[in-house]
Amino acid sequence: MALTSHAPHSRPTRLALAFCISLGLALAAAPSDASELSAAPVRVAGIVVHDAAETLRDFCHEQDGGLWLELPGGMRWELVTSTTDPVITNPGDGEFHPFDVSEVDAALSLVRYPIHNLSAEVFILPFPRRESLESAAGAGLILLSPGVRPLSREHQHAELVHELGHVVQYAVLPDTDEQGWGEFMHIRGLSLDTHTAESAHADRPHEIWAEDFRALFGGTAANSTGTIENATLAYSTQVAGLAEFMQALADASPAAASARLTAAPVARGAVTFSRFGTNASVLDVFDAAGRRLASVTPVVGGSSVAWTWNGEDASGRSVRGEVVFARARDAQGGAVRVVVTR
């Protein structure tokens, strides 16, 4: 079953495109930092999720007889609050049914792609936007639109991961990367001459990417149909080199580089390991044979996490002169190799 979500942004026409949104979501005006918001969001990896009640309470207000969604940074849309409104062609059961925050959380947790470096906000809408009734995504932002009937778990997972694919694309393959887009389309056996922003929805490069992301990296519920929107294309898992190409983009992105685990000597035999981000877990230090030497508790400060290891194994023996490896248990930031020389 084809997804009904449509990400409101322009697609690459020979990749000479500016970031924009055809349905009013200005990509250049990304929402401000979560610290400026009045809500207490649920955090999943580097993504902030606002449930429908929170969105209604903290980001919606009445004006001129209508209800408006207004996000930090000035983005605003009028919401449709009744299924009897003329823009609603199918009133369903007479109510709007928002996404369940627990399903959004679950769908994110099942994504097999390094999203911990992403900075993005997900707003679960209590009512659809008047100018576009469907879910949308832009750089660092996802808007999940309600249904006119209760949404199945599979639908919620599929739509969320599809929209997340757009967010990932803006982070790792911006429209200005003509070489990257050319390689993506070549792997897909397609051409940017025939697949453009003006193509049918399923033929647009951004939509092909988002569906590939869902199929390759989403969980079981997100891929329950075993299909992608464009039925004329080979299923994503059958395209040689596609998953590897998309994964490599994440590994090479500036965000990934800034979040890598690094090490620096701080005292005789002691080393401080650090990485960007506030996700904290225990860090393990191993010798060259893979034996665990020590486990270090994290300290979160500002926008980074640090672990200070005293250069000794669990028995108190100094390991100066040895090669060791360190890795956080959540696997974020990769592993770092250190020669303890001091």
Residues 267 and 313 in one domain: yes
**In the predicted model, what is the mean pLDDT of residues 288-302?**
85
Is 25 a residue whose pLDDT tops 70? no
Task: Give 106's pLDDT tier (boundaries 50, 70, 90).
Answer: very high
Is 17 a residue whose pLDDT tops 80? no
Q: Tell which of 230, 252, 274 closes a domain.
A: 252
Is 7 a residue whose pLDDT tops 90? no
Q: What is the pLDDT of residue 197?
A: 85
**Residue 21 in domain:** no
Is 37 a residue whose pLDDT tops 50? no
Q: Tell which of 227, 252, 277 closes a domain.
A: 252
Count of structural domains within the chain: 2
Task: Give 330's pLDDT tier (boundaries 50, 70, 90).
Answer: confident
Residues 50 and 168 in one domain: yes
**In the predicted model, what is the mean pLDDT of residues 82-95?**
97
Residues 222 and 146 in one domain: yes
**Residue 161 in domain:** yes
CA distance 187 to 208: 12
Q: What is the pLDDT of residue 11?
A: 32
Bridge partners, residue 299, by sequence: 306
Residues 44 and 61 in one domain: yes
Residues 186 and 309 in one domain: no
Q: Tell which of 252, 279, 311 closes a domain.
A: 252
Q: What tens digit of pLDDT does each residue of 132-154 get?
A: 999 999 988 999 999 999 999 99
Residue 239 — left, alpha, or beta (φ > 0 → left; ψ -120 to 50 → alpha)? beta
Q: What are the DSSP E strand ranges found in the chain?
A: 42-44, 47-50, 60-63, 66-70, 76-79, 120-124, 136-138, 141-144, 262-267, 270-276, 283-287, 292-296, 299-301, 304-309, 323-328, 335-339
Task: Give 264's pLDDT tier (boundaries 50, 70, 90).
Answer: confident
Task: Give 257's pLDDT tier (boundaries 50, 70, 90).
Answer: low
Its domain, for residue 163, covers: 34-252
Q: What is the pLDDT of residue 342?
A: 52
**In the predicted model, what is the mean pLDDT of residues 14-39?**
28
**Residue 284 in domain:** yes
Q: Which of 22-36, 136-150, 281-295 has the lowest mean pLDDT?
A: 22-36
Task: Give 48's pLDDT tier (boundaries 50, 70, 90).
Answer: confident
What CATH number does residue 270 fall under?
Answer: 2.60.40.4070
Is 43 a residue whose pLDDT tops 70? no
Distance of CA 38 to the CA centre of its chain: 22
Angle between helices 101-109 and 153-172 (to 10 degrees): 50
**Residue 165 in domain:** yes
Is 45 a residue whose pLDDT tops 50? no
CA-based nearest residue to 313, from 336, 333, 337, 340: 340
**Residue 205 in domain:** yes
Q: What is the pLDDT of residue 74?
A: 83
Residues 269 and 232 in one domain: no
Q: How many residues does the chain have?
A: 342
CA distance 30 to 33: 9
Residues 178 and 87 in one domain: yes
Q: What is the pLDDT of residue 297?
A: 93
Residues 80 and 220 in one domain: yes
Residues 132 and 268 in one domain: no
Q: What is the pLDDT of residue 258?
A: 64
The conformation of residue 112, written as its DSSP 8-state character, comes to -
Q: Which of 31-35, 116-120, 134-138, 143-147 has the lowest mean pLDDT?
A: 31-35
Which of the listed ranges 25-34, 40-49, 249-258 does the model predict with the highest average pLDDT?
249-258
- Only one residue has tokens 């190409």, namely 245
Task: Give 320's pLDDT tier (boundaries 50, 70, 90).
Answer: confident
Q: What tens digit of pLDDT does each residue of 182-213 get?
A: 999 999 999 999 999 899 999 999 999 999 99
Q: What is the pLDDT of residue 31?
A: 30
Q: What is the pLDDT of residue 256?
A: 63
Q: What mean pLDDT is reported for the chain?
A: 82
pTM of the model: 0.67
